[in-house]
Structure 1
Amino acid sequence: MASIARTLRPAASRLAVAARGNTASSIRSPFGVRAFSATRAAYVKKYTKDHEWVELSDDKKTATIGISEYAAHALGDVVYVELPTTPMEVKAGDSIGAVESVKSASDINSPISCTITSVNSLLEEKPATINKGPEDDSSAGGWVAKVEVAEEGVSDLDGLMDGEAYKKFTEEE
């Protein structure tokens, strides 16, 4: 099965053009000043070139893994998600599951070395949840797995992109 990145290449140019019109800087308050929102600074979210994300907790011992919003949009309507088994030890780049849509099927790879401790079983019942909120790590979101992270997994983060670098990467695809 192909990785998400290889599956998305044909749709990437169409998405990049559509995404350029929706920037956060276009949001303004009624006073003419840019509106700011509160985000969880305690977490570090990083992205892979294969369009997976990992969000590391402040204690650097746990994290959440999923596919990016860009990938979910490019895949189209998701009809099946294969989840990993638990517990499962994986290295960065190992396949932990798959996602199938009306357009294609792709592997989901682990962005970091970790131990998968739980999965989002909602995706088995309602795979379209991944389209509605692929980067939402709440109980109703489209995240794929919760993991325990050791030192090797934390060091794997150095090779990943932050949100700004990932946005630039997807615009260039």
Structure 2
Amino acid sequence: MNETTHNDTVSTDAQAVTGERAELLEALAKQRHFLDFTTRDLTDEQAGRRTTASELCLGGLIKHVTSVERNWAEFIVRGPSAMPDFSAMTKEDFARRADEFRMLPGDTLEGVRAAYAQVARRTDELVVSLPDLDADQPLPSAPWFEAGARWSARRVLLHIIAETAQHTGHADIIREALDGAKSMG
């Protein structure tokens, strides 16, 4: 990624960020690094291979985390209109969303990683430029969200970090089952 960490300061391109924003960027960068690290030295075929009983593969996890981060970052800016309308989704819509967990024909590990890096840069720029981390938006309608709930930009960023960390753990298990390599141990 494009940031370097020194004590409590993160440099994102030419701009130095300190305090809470630096901590958010640092936590996100750490989780992104470990997720990306699970794909080191893999072929496209290996990145698409399922190694457990689940449907998950390493390339698919990166595609999913990319989509999640992109959507939630857009939510910070545009509110619920940036998110899918889960209550109106069809079986076909859910099937298309399931494709983000797979390496599809034409997907390459290099391309998936590049897309993730691009989304990460945009999110980092957003964190730096946000006028107020307390600014909130109403959550979209979905069975898993409390009706009428609102999330601040801070809460969304913490959710992105948690989602990335959760899938980084999944990726570590998948990689170890693939070839014995460990990312976090």
Using structure 2 for the length normalisation, give the TM-score: 0.27
Using structure 1 for the length normalisation, give the TM-score: 0.29
Structure with greater proportional helix content: 2
When Rg is computed on C-alpha atoms for both structures, the one with the higher figure is 2
> Which structure exhibits the higher relative contact order, with contacts defined as CA atoms closer than 8 Å and separated by 6 or more residues?
2
Structure with greater proportional strand content: 1
